[in-house]
Structure formats: C-alpha cells, structure tokens
Amino acid sequence: MHIEPGVVDGAKIVLSYATAAAAAGLTLKMSMDTIRKDGGAAALALRSVFTTLLVFTFFEVFPHHAVGVSEVHLILGSTLYLLFGAGPAAIGLALGLLVQGLFFAPFDLPQYGMNVTTLVVPLYAMSLIAKRIIPTGTAYKDVSYKQALALSTSYQGGIVMWVGFWALYGHGFGAENLAQIASFGGAYMLVVILEPLVDLGVLAIAKTISRTNGGLLLNNRLYSHAA
C-alpha cells in the first residue's frame, strides 16, 4: 500500500500533513483506550514494541510487489488488532512504517503522511466494526471465519479506498490512472482471502496459551468477553 513517489507531489502533498495529523489523533485515542481499559501504560508500551517489529517485518521482509499505483503487502491489520488491540496496532503501523522509511526506504519518507493515513484510519474504522459484529460475550480467540473475513475486508477495503483517493487526487481521472488503480485494487483484495485464514490460525495457537502466559503482551479481549 506504499504510495509511490510522484503520485502526489508539489503543493498537493500538504493535504497529507492534515490527514496524518488526524491519524495521529485517532492513534492517541486508541492508545488511551488501551491505557484505561486494557492493561495500562506498561501493556501499551510492550505491545507497541512487538507490533512495530511485526509491521517492519511485514513491510521489509515479507514478499511485496508493485502493482498499479502502489505496492501490495500482507499487512495483517486485523491480526494485529485481535492479538494486541487497536492502540498498539496503530502505534506499530505508524512506527514500523517510519523505521522502514528511515533506514531502508528514505525515498518513501515524503509519502509518510499519506501512507500512515492509509494504514491507521482504516484500522480505526475496523475497530468500530469489530464492536458491532463481535458480541460482547465473545472472546477474540473464538471469532468465526465470517467475523474475521468481515474485519479483513473492512481493513483492506479501507486501504484500497485511500490509495485510490491519493492516486485520483494526484493524477486525476484519466483512463491510465483509473486502470492502474483498478489493477492495484484487484491485486490487493486477494489479501482478503488469505488474512482471515492467518487470523484463525494465529487465534488457534492463542487458544493453547493460557491467559497468564500472555501477561501484558496480549489484548485482554483475546481471552475474555468485553466488560
């Protein structure tokens, strides 16, 4: 989902600063929710370290391919959310992307505002959807494939929508640009098929780990119903 250099440039890139600020506000909100309701500041810090390492791995180590206006990555946003919670997932997405840019892909830094918006805003939307489709009496380790698919679809779909927005904002509605957006969207939605399977596989492993072994590292909701 990396926005390629040149897709949005010049004065237009200023908009990304505003959307990144909004994404930062959502990250702060989700992080405060973790502090208040899901383990406190220590849990937020520990989980954020792990999510940052995982996100960096997703971006830099996992296979990724340029398709159309962007790159296709296996980001596993719903997996991060279910295991660690929204706040740590948002911090991990933002910091993992930043570490990659600073040390391995400095040409991506001008697009950081767009990329972090593309990752974090759909995560927040997905967290709202999770509250609606997963009953309060259901621990995350017990979510169904249908629920996992809905979360993955909402997150990956949000990413595709934001990438499409940036491409249209930068290069308009020309036929070539529309074709590149369509090819990216088609390729990226293939991730939707795989991600719920990864979710269920990871959650199956989580079922074999006791809550006490998880400690501060794992989302409290992974093992218990909502308060």
Cβ burial of 172 (10 Å; 0-12, 13-18, 19+) is: exposed
Q: Is 132 exposed, middle or buried (0-12, 13-18, 19+ CB in 10 A)?
A: exposed
Tens digits of residue pLDDT in 50-102: 999 999 999 888 877 778 778 878 888 999 999 999 999 999 999 999 999 99
3 state DSSP class of 67:
strand
Nearest-angstrom CA–CA distance, 178 and 13: 20
Q: Which residues contact 145 (CB under 8 A, 6 or more apart)?
A: 196, 200
pLDDT of residue 1: 65
SS3 8: coil
Average pLDDT of the chain?
A: 90
Quick one: tokens of 6?
A: 């040149």
Percent of residues, the chain, with pLDDT higher than 70: 96
CA gap 21, 90 in Å, rounded: 13
Pair 131, 218: CB distance under 8 Å: no
Q: How many CB atoms lie within 10 A of CB 22?
A: 13
Residues 6+ apart with CB under 8 A from 189: 156, 157, 160
Domains of the chain (ranges; CATH) run 10-222 (1.10.1760.20)
**Of 110-124, 125-139, 162-176, 195-209, which range is least confident?**
195-209
Read off the pTM: 0.93
Are 38 and 47 in contact, with CB atoms under 8 Å apart? no
How far CA 33 is from CA of 19, 29, 86, in Å, comes to 21, 6, 9
* N-term to C-term CA, the chain: 35
Contact 101, 109 (CB under 8 A): yes
DSSP string of 140-157, one letter each residue: GGG--HHHHHHHHHHHHH
Which of the pair, 7 or 99, is modelled with greater confidence?
Answer: 99
